[in-house]
Structure 1
Amino acid sequence: MTRYAPLPDLILEPMVRNALMEDLGQYGDVTTRSVIPAGTTYNARINARENGVVSGMQVAAIAFRLVDPSLEITTVLADGSPCKKGDTLMEIKGAASSILSGERVALNFAGRLTGIATLTAAFVAETKGTQTRITCTRKTTPGLRIVEKQAVLHGGGFNHRISLSDAILIKDNHIAAAGGIVPVLEAVKTNASHMVRVEIEVDTLEQLAQVLETGGADVCLLDNMDTPTLRNAVEMVNGRLVLEASGNMRLERIAEVAATGVDYISSGALTHSVRTLDLGLDF
């Protein structure tokens, strides 16, 4: 199960409302209005058609409630729960027209978010026996970042920055524009709030040595390093900085990277290359 409580519905509602408005168009669900007699009620279920880790149930429930607040919605498997093929994740009772009108948006969210949680759980499983944590990146679907980040938590991962305002992350282009590692870290020491953590990206052990000598960083991102180099970096730092390995972090490589002793492994693939899990709504 997820380590975190759900977000307030108030935060998620605008995103779900926009998706419903996109789907319903200017005149609503003309198919349902044309073929479903008024007053028809049904019991429906969202079922898993393959194994995974559930996410998006809170969002799916919001979608149905925005269409029709009178619908009875029961979450059978909460976000963060494992599911097997054939499991029921949610039950919805009430007006058939309302269920049908909210179906696609609810499933679009739930399928994608369950896919993210499932992939994250697979990455996390590869770190077993180590202290390494799996974290996502800002490579998220525009407009869906908050729910995709939540899905990573549901899969047992951790969140990197939610936005540019969360922390200072000095990347290669910042270093180039500022004139090098030493001047960029000196600028941070002069200008940054003491309440903001600082991470800096390095590509080589020589750059890492500069960071250690200059000071001013809390975290160092080791970008696109091979496994032996990552191991050397961990030995160099010896606990003085938090270390994050990033770049080319495929599922099949996670176990060997975690074994180097890095604190975090970040992967954009958790959100930008995920496969939607197959969920269906059945009457």
Structure 2
Amino acid sequence: MDNALKQSVDILLNVAIAEDKSAQDATSKLLLGSEKISTGIYFKEPGILCGTKIISYLAKQIDAQIKIRWNYKEGARIKKGSLVAKILGPANLVLSHERIVLNFLQKLSGIATLTNKYVAELKKTKIKILDTRKTTPGWRYLEKYAVQIGGGQNHRMDLSESILVKDNHIRVHGGIKKTLEKIAQRSGRKKISVEVENLGQVKDVVQFKIDQIMLDNFSKKETLSAIKIIRNSNKARIELSGGFTLKKIKSIRNLDVDYVSIGRITHSAPFLDISMGVLR
């Protein structure tokens, strides 16, 4: 686990403990002590396991007495009812932090699982699934990590990483040509991507040296025309964007594009149904 992930986990764990008041767990104070217990983590629905190293690190930060043994590797496809891990530690510590541990695991596994469903729909094609910056504040590194575990690829991690010219940039500069002329003068070596909204903009963009062209909310007919224009006059990679559901994404399987970016794999992925139970 790299430093960026560790830093994110440290920050999020502190927030989670503070808001849950784990050290002041009224129920655990009345009923539990430091006696050792063993608990199991179960998948109550099928999905992709994501967060094994993160959860192990998180448990260690909570208390070194808490030990986790994983029965499956990161990214494994888990069946409903599977015991994915065992946790051993003091009863008061394990149970007062149960919800925090599960929240992390359910969120990450949910993102990985939804991403993997999209990846499966484009199996045997060259098209790659990209995430977006539509992430939960503070969770970006973890959510984008989960996308990778699910088989997707990361778009920009942050605004400094590359240049992405969007509709509002173009409006401020009075048109796409003026915008790209200015970008060409100052971009340096950063990757340049441009979001286009119509075929007229596509024809303008291909006149410039661009790394990636994003077709935003194009119809099927417009997409086919745009692909032809780009492939005949430019070496730019082609990205599709715009509300792709699992049903809708099937329609692009045979298109000559390189990427499809999907915001919902981070902003709308449901928590995977995962539970923890005391083992007897």
TM-score range, shorter chain: over 0.9
Question: Pick from 222, 231, 235: which aligns with 2:224?
Answer: 231
> What are the superposed Cα offsets for residues 81-139 of structure 1, whole Å, 9 maximum, x if unpaired?
11111112221112111111221111011111111111100000111121000011111
Mapped to 1, the partners of 2:230 and 2:97 lie a distance apart of: 52
Partner of 1:15: 12
Partner of 2:46: 51
Q: So what's the TM-score if we normalise by structure 1?
A: 0.92
For structure 1, list consecutive stretches of 5 or more residues without a partner in the other structure: 1-5
Partner of 2:269: 274
Say what the alpha-carbon RMSD is for the aligned residues.
Answer: 1.5
Mapped to 2, the partners of 1:139 and 1:79 lie a distance apart of: 24
For structure 2, list consecutive stretches of 5 or more residues without a partner in the other structure: none
Partner of 2:244: 249
Q: Which runs of 4 or more aligned residues in structure 1 lie more than 4 Å from their structure 2 counterparts after TM superposition?
A: none
Which residue identity is paired with 1:228? K
Partner of 2:198: 204
Mapped to 2, the partners of 1:153 and 1:79 lie a distance apart of: 11
- Deviation, 1:50, is 0.4
Mapping for residues 115-130 of structure 1, pairs under 5 Å? 115-130=110-125
Partner of 2:35: 40
Question: Pick from 5, 24, 28: which aligns with 2:24?
Answer: 28
Question: Pick from 79, 92, 95: which aligns with 2:90?
Answer: 95
Mapped to 1, the partners of 2:182 and 2:12 lie a distance apart of: 38
Partner of 2:186: 191
Mapping for residues 79-228 of structure 1, pairs under 5 Å? 79-194=74-189, 196-213=190-207, 215-228=208-221
User: SS state of the match for residue 206, structure 2?
Assistant: helix
User: SS state of the match for residue 201, structure 1?
Assistant: strand
- Deviation, 1:28, is 2.4
Cα contact 1:71–1:95 (8 A) shared by 2: yes
The verdict on how the C-alpha distance between 1:229 and 1:176 changes in structure 2, with shifts beyond 3 A counting, is same
- Deviation, 1:190, is 1.1
Mapped to 2, the partners of 1:150 and 1:78 lie a distance apart of: 15
Mapped to 2, the partners of 1:127 and 1:200 lie a distance apart of: 24
Mapped to 2, the partners of 1:31 and 1:13 lie a distance apart of: 26
Mapped to 1, the partners of 2:236 and 2:264 lie a distance apart of: 25
Mapped to 1, the partners of 2:117 and 2:45 lie a distance apart of: 15
- Deviation, 1:7, is 3.0
